[in-house]
């Protein structure tokens, strides 16, 4: 009996011990593992997402916080520590959602200045009009994008180095492809610059613009703004979403030029791909190249390197404060079409244009030449006819003219000749003075 009782007690003891071990094992398995100091926690959380390590205080590692319901941990960058994140001046917060753009790669809020500019700090006003510089498309591609997508604030936020140049203010004039720029937009820009130029705290102006008609807007402003403060246009050949977009550097260099004393009194300028051009001579010369903006025979006035302006030339033609063109009360400009001469070009185009236009510009062959049939039609016209060249460079003098009732465009391109003629007509310049005007401007 004693033997049997001992055996029963032993069996009960073993069963109790096994139960306790099972119970403790279950509690241990269900507990979350504890990461060693400076190490990472193992295991897979519920939902299948990864759990990143939580750094020790002062360890210098980025913490990670899983998105709600995402199952993924999203890294939160720490405060600037001299790494690549520094260039974007990001605060220690969750990154913004990417929009696929390298210029405005992130959905950015309007910049909020931390303090008002000091009296000694320069102030540059950026007037944005759209164009490729504000374009977004398929990531990495240079074609098929939509121009005029990013706002002025997006452009500024993408170039934090602008704060080292000047205190920046932004105005969104429009947000369009530059082929949709109109005379009303020109007049609005000129009016706004003339108004803001009266503010003694404003140092200069930058206008972001599509490259297709950038040269035209630049020349119009060169004739109509009434300030010697720097007015600088820039743009880009690649959209913000392309690989190695050229917009940010062009914007930075344009702002540096607008903030410089060297650019004061130089007329309206264009800054593009490290070079500085006069508004009168600048022209787009290529459909895709990042150095597509040039100035033909006259060349660049100077260059920008690391934010410093180097000017070597100046424009000899009248501009800005020294022009006779006051557009303050003008709502629209007269119609002046450009007719392009080529072999077998229809002379009826001339009579058709003459019925509705107030002047005509002809893009002639060579030194402004055209056929005998065109000559006969031109001689019948009673409106001003300016002769330019389709060649893209060179000069046309009064001695080159085939018709007595025409005006030589000097070395102005057809599109710029049209601007000067439109302004002359709008400001009621006597037609007998037009040849003199084209020589002076």
State the greatest distance between any 2 C-alpha atoms of the chain, in Å, as a whole number: 144
Structure tokens at 274: 């490290």
Residues 165 and 312 in one domain: yes
pLDDT in tens, 33-57: 333 333 333 333 333 333 333 333 3
In a domain, 209, yes or no: yes
> CA-CA distance, 148 to 434, in Å (whole number)?
37
Same domain, 134 and 225: yes
Is 101 within a domain? no
Digits of tens for pLDDT over the chain (441 positions)? Answer: 444 443 434 443 444 344 434 343 443 333 333 333 333 333 333 333 333 333 333 333 333 333 433 333 333 333 333 333 233 333 333 333 333 344 544 333 443 343 456 656 899 999 999 999 999 999 999 999 999 999 999 999 999 999 999 999 999 999 999 999 999 999 999 999 999 999 999 999 999 999 999 999 999 999 999 999 999 999 999 999 999 999 999 999 999 999 999 999 999 999 999 999 999 999 999 999 999 999 999 999 999 999 999 999 999 999 999 999 999 999 999 999 999 999 999 999 999 999 999 999 999 999 999 999 999 999 999 999 999 999 999 999 999 999 999 999 999 999 999 999 999 999 999 999 999 999 999
Contact 258, 276 (CB under 8 A): no
Whether residue 372 is found in the same domain as residue 420: yes
Q: What is the CATH number of the domain that holds 211?
A: 3.40.50.1170
Asked whether residue 435 is domain-assigned, the answer is yes
Query: Is residue 300 located within the same domain as residue 370?
Result: no
Per DSSP (E only), the strands in 192-323 are: 204-208, 231-234, 269-272, 275-278, 283-284, 293-294, 302-305, 308-311
pLDDT of residue 366: 97
Strand, coil or helix: what is 73? strand
| Angstrom distance (rounded) from CA 308 to CA 256 | 7
Residue whose pair of structure tokens reads 């003891």 in the numeric block: 13
pLDDT in tens, 187-222: 999 999 999 999 999 999 999 999 999 999 999 999
Q: State the pLDDT at residue 323.
A: 98
Residue length of the chain? 441
Of the three residues 289, 322, 355, the one that is the final residue of a domain is 322
**pTM score above 0.85:** no
Residue 34 maps to a domain: no
Cα 37 to Cα 52, 54, 55, 57, distances in angstroms:
14, 10, 8, 11
Q: Which of 129, 132, 149, 203 is catalytic?
A: 132
Residue 422 lies in a domain: yes
| Structural domain range at position 412 | 338-440
**Does residue 95 lie in a domain region?**
no
132 among known catalytic residues: yes
CATH number at residue 418: 3.40.50.40
- Residues 224, 276, single domain; the answer is yes
**Using an 8 Å Cβ cutoff, are 218 and 232 in contact?**
no
DSSP assignment of 156-222, as one string? HHT-GGGGGT-EEEEEEEEEE-GGG--HHHHHHHHHHHHHHTT-TT--EEEEE--SSSHHHHHHHHH
Count of domains for the chain: 2
Domain boundary among 295, 322, 349: 322
CA of residue 156 relative to chain centroid, distance:
9
Identify the pLDDT of residue 72: 39
307 and 271 within one domain: yes
Assess whether 189 and 309 both reside in one domain: yes
Q: State the pLDDT at residue 6.
A: 38
Tell me: do 366 and 310 sit in the same domain. Answer: no
CB 137 within 8 A of CB 239: yes
366 shares a domain with 314 = no
Q: How far apart are CA 228 and CA 222, in angstroms?
A: 10
Q: What angle do CA 341, 221, 160 make, to 5 degrees?
A: 115
Report how far residue 274's alpha carbon sits from residue 249's, in angstroms, rounded to the nearest whole number. Answer: 8
Q: Which two tokens stand for residue 98?
A: 């990417």
Where does a domain end: 279, 298, 322? 322
């Amino acid at each position: 009996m004693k033997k049997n009782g001992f055996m029963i007690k032993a069996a009960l003891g073993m069963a109790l011990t096994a139960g306790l071990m099972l119970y403790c094992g279950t509690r241990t398995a269900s507990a979350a593992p504890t990461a060693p100091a400076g190490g990472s926690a193992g295991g897979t959380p519920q939902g299948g997402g990864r759990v990143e390590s939580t750094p020790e205080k002062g360890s210098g590692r980025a913490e990670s916080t899983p998105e709600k319901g995402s199952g993924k941990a999203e890294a939160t960058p720490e405060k600037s520590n001299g790494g690549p994140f520094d260039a974007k001046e990001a605060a220690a917060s969750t990154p913004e959602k990417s929009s696929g753009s390298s210029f405005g790669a992130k959905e950015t809020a309007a910049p909020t200045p931390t303090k008002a500019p000091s009296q000694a700090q320069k102030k540059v006003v950026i007037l944005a009009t759209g164009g490729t510089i504000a374009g977004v498309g398929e990531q990495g591609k240079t074609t098929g994008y939509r121009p005029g997508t990013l706002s002025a604030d997006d452009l500024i936020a993408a170039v934090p180095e602008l704060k080292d140049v000047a205190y920046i203010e932004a105005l969104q004039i429009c947000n369009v492809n530059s082929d949709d720029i109109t005379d009303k937009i020109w007049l609005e820009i000129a009016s706004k610059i003339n108004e803001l130029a009266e503010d003694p705290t404003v140092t200069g102006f930058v206008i972001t613009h599509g490259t297709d008609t950038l040269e035209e807007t630049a020349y119009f402003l060169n004739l109509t703004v009434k300030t010697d403060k720097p007015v600088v246009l820039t743009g880009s050949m690649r959209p913000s979403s392309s690989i190695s977009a050229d917009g940010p550097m062009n914007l930075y260099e344009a702002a540096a030029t607008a903030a410089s004393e060297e650019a004061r009194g130089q007329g309206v300028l264009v800054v593009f791909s490290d070079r500085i051009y006069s508004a009168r001579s600048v022209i787009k010369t290529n459909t895709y190249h990042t150095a597509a903006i040039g100035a033909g025979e006259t060349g660049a006035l100077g260059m920008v390197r690391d934010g410093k302006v180097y000017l070597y030339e100046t424009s000899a033609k009248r501009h800005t404060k020294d022009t006779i063109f006051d557009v303050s009360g003008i709502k629209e400009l007269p119609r002046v079409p450009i007719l392009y001469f080529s072999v077998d070009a229809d002379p009826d185009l001339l009579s058709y244009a003459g019925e509705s236009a107030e002047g005509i510009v002809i893009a002639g062959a060579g030194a402004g030449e055209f056929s005998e049939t065109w000559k006969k039609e031109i001689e019948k016209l009673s409106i001003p006819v300016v002769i330019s060249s389709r060649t893209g460079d060179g000069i046309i003098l009064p001695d080159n003219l085939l018709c007595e009732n025409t005006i030589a465009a000097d070395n102005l391109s057809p599109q710029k000749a049209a601007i000067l003629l439109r302004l002359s007509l709008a400001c009621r310049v006597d037609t007998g003075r037009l040849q003199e005007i084209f020589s002076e401007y």
